[in-house]
Amino acid sequence: MQKKEPMESNQSTERRLSNTVKPDGMGLEEWQVALRQQQAQREHFAISEVGEQFSPGEYTVRNPRSRSQYKVIYRGAYSPWNYCSCPDFRTSGLGTCKHVEGVKLWLQAEGKEVYRREPDYTSVYIDYHGGRSIRIRIGEAHRRELTALAQEYFDHASVLRPEAYASFDTFIEKARGIDPSLRCYPDALELVISERERLQRAALVENVYMDETLDALLTTKLYPYQKEGVRFAVKAGKAIIADEMGLGKTVQAICCAEIYLRQKMAESVLIVCPTSLKYQWKREIERFAGAKSLIIEGYASKRMELYNAAVPYKIVSYQSLANDIKSLNRLSTDLLIMDEVQRLKNWNTQLAQAVRRIDSHYSVLLSGTPLENKLDELVSIVQLADPYCLSPLYRFRYDHIITDPSSGKAIGYKNLNDIRERLKDTLIRRTKQSVRLQLPKRTDQFLLIPMTPGQSSRHEELRTAVARLVSKWQRTHSLSEEERRRLLLMLGQMRMLADSTFVIDQNLENRHDTKVAELMNILDDALNGGTAKIVIFSEWERMARLVAMELDARGIRYEYLHGSVPAQKRSELIDRFTNESDCRIFLSTDAGSTGLNLQSASILINLDLPWNPAILEQRIGRIYRIGQEMPIQVMNLVSKDSIEESMIDRLRFKRSMFEGALDGGDDTIFLSDDRFRGFMESLSPALCKGEGESPKEEEEEVLPFTPPLEGTGEAAIGAFLTSLRDILQSPEKTKQLADAITQILNKL
């Protein structure tokens, strides 16, 4: 009779373990295992045995909360034969997960015996410890014959030899001739097929799609670096093209699609992009490939029909896709192209979760800014192409993020050059400088604009109030719900005041600002002194509206893009601005900061600084891109002695982190106190957007509510308190809010 599983004390989980700070005296992997044991104790899994007659030691684990279900094989604590079909087991390299630990606890609670004996049958499986390797475990049945056969295909460690992938089906046929009960698990078979297909694709791009063949695919000739990007993506099968903005990622993706379609490797291509880019994708597919494309839009019932239309290219916005996934549960396509994929940097958003329910054989992910704020974001994006490339996340953080031992917060980054090495087969990135395109000269200026006394006094009142809250946090490490609400309101209002008091109160009769007048002086010089076209950006729709009022009053023609402009109308705005000589100004909120081609302009004016340098480069990339022949002038209007002026160093640091990880910059970067002095340098841009002020694009939620930053009237306060009440009724949302605010304040 088999012995029962020994009861374990789990001393490491008797106290609540931190998810961010490793306890002293505990190893990295020991800590991670203990965290999964802790999770298993808190979850309420529904666990059942598959049946000892057919699969002894195999269990089904269901999570009622997430409605997910996984297969678990449990042979005892720390057994090398334990297995779970969940992503964490496959990528962590720990040999366990919360589901395995849950089965262990369930067996102990039920007093059930653990099936420890190795089965008689032979199995081919994936060993997920320290990466992935295909191994063979030879059972008792026909051991001598199978051992002799396996020596031809597997090495002394029972790992499948690289040269044996091509003849793996021959091995399986021979092995099953010896023992019909031999099992080859699906994930092992998928890995074999994936590797064989990769070798076939490599041969295809090297022997068939040479320069002349690629030139014949499209109506335009590709630059050499673009041909390299196409070959890289097709060879990888699932790849990220992360070229700097303006280097033509769209045409590379279309060329990849044409290869897959013409080689009969794909019949359907699904393009997921921001709403503002749907019609631009359609236009460029027709222009470069001469192919039919279909935009999936309209009512939900109409969209359901369009997914099944007999058209090779289908285009859908991220927001529509997220809504449709709720009804469809999953989507399938041969080739998935996702544009501006940095929108999925936050793993926990509904949008990111929806995209992960698209089944595709191939994928091409596009982003000029795959790394915006934190290194963790890069992992989230890379996992869409290759879940194993930068995994496990805990090891990635340990190897590359320097943390404060007491708080666990990031204070610097290290070994950034190693990240590029790990990404070499998954992500390709080229900068304008590296490809040596003959782009014109670019000049960047920061123009410090004094605030009016009315702006300064209100800004200083807010600064003083925020400083008091920060001081209290530093003393007590605690803020009440009301204090947290006030902090969020005031930080956002400070940024708005740096533009104009109108952005907060919409009071034209008592309006205070100087940026609009300074902008008009710049425009007078530019419009009267030549033929240059000008693009003007602001984060706030109300600030852009002020500029529109001034232009109307002066009778100056312009085009105005904001979040409320329908997607199909945006291309008309661009065409008029590009083709009509008397239309020299393009005014836009950040709804137009991605994907638009505005290279007919040579001057770009930022009325305010985005918190994220990637957003700033996205704006500039609208005019500084392939096809630009004129020298470029970028003007950034910054209110002096304001929260904006404090952002400049923050922008420079984030740019250094990006360059270190992807563009060959500094290998180690520290977040020194000097660089982050003051509360502003810890502000997250998502906490500073007033309700209704951000473009009506698909925004990723950082907090479980949106604070009404536009004012403090009774209606705004009432709406906020209603939102806050809903949050406090949900323990999960309350924790999200507390964690988010704590993270901000910890950085101060």
> What are the sequence ranges of the domains in the chain?
11-194, 208-435, 442-681
Backbone angles phi and psi of 531, in degrees to 5? -120, 10
- Residue pair 533/602 in contact (Cβ under 8 Å)? The answer is yes
**Residue 437: exposed, middle, or buried by beta-carbon count in 10 A (0-12, 13-18, 19+)?**
middle
Q: How far is CA 489 from CA 285, 458, 478, 544, in A?
A: 44, 13, 18, 21
d(CA 144, CA 137): 13
d(CA 19, CA 17): 6
- Residue pair 69/99 in contact (Cβ under 8 Å)? The answer is no
Q: Can you give the pLDDT at residue 250?
A: 92
Give rounded-to-5 percent helix, strand, coil for the chain.
45, 15, 40
d(CA 33, CA 94): 7
- Residue pair 269/257 in contact (Cβ under 8 Å)? The answer is yes
d(CA 162, CA 159): 9
d(CA 337, CA 349): 20
Consecutive H or E run containing 362: strand 358-366
Report helix, strand or coil for 129: coil
Within its chain, how far is the Cα of 621 from the centroid? Answer: 20
- Identify each DSSP E strand in 210-326 by its residue range: 238-241, 269-273, 293-295, 313-317
Question: What string of DSSP letters covers 637-670?
Answer: EEETTSHHHHHHHHHHHHHHHHHHHHSS--S-EE
Report helix, strand or coil for 23: coil
Q: Determine the number of helices (DSSP H) and then strands (DSSP E) in the chain.
A: 27, 23
Q: Can you give the pLDDT at residue 440?
A: 66
Q: How far is CA 654 from CA 242, 678, 687, in A?
A: 17, 17, 18
- Residue pair 255/223 in contact (Cβ under 8 Å)? The answer is no
Query: 436: Cβ–Cβ under 8 A, 6 or more apart, which residues?
Result: none
With a cut of 70, list the residues of the chain below it in pLDDT. 1-15, 51-54, 372-373, 407-408, 436-440, 529, 592-595, 611-612, 647-748
Q: Can you give the pLDDT at residue 379?
A: 83
Omega before residue 392 within 30° of 0, cis: yes
- Residue pair 391/92 in contact (Cβ under 8 Å)? The answer is yes
Report helix, strand or coil for 228: helix
- Residue pair 98/81 in contact (Cβ under 8 Å)? The answer is no
d(CA 257, CA 285): 10
**Helices (H), ranges, 529-565:** 541-554
Going by the DSSP 8-state scheme, the letter that residue 123 receives in this structure is E
Tally the C-alpha atoms within 13 A of residue 231's C-alpha that lie toward its C-beta.
Answer: 20
Q: Can you give the pLDDT at residue 702?
A: 33
Within its chain, how far is the Cα of 524 from the centroid? Answer: 41
Q: Can you give the pLDDT at residue 52?
A: 59
- Residue pair 160/193 in contact (Cβ under 8 Å)? The answer is no
Pairing relation of β-strands 585-588 and 534-537? parallel
Q: Which amino acid is at 38?
A: Q
How many residues belong to the chain? 748
d(CA 686, CA 681): 14
Query: 737, 698, 652, 624: which is closest to 345 by C-alpha?
Result: 698
What CATH architecture applies to the domain 442-681?
Answer: 3-Layer(aba) Sandwich (3.40)
Going by the DSSP 8-state scheme, the letter that residue 70 receives in this structure is E
CATH number of 208-435: 3.40.50.10810
Backbone angles phi and psi of 499, in degrees to 5? -90, -60
Output the six-digit token pair for 329: 């549960």
Pairing relation of β-strands 401-403 and 358-366? unpaired
Query: 658, 654, 660, 661: which is closest to 676 by C-alpha?
Result: 654
Consecutive H or E run containing 280: helix 278-288
| Total-model pTM | 0.65
Q: Tokens 């289908």 identify what position?
A: 314
Comparing 208-435 with 442-681, is the CATH topology the same? yes
Q: What is the largest CA-CA distance in the chain?
A: 95
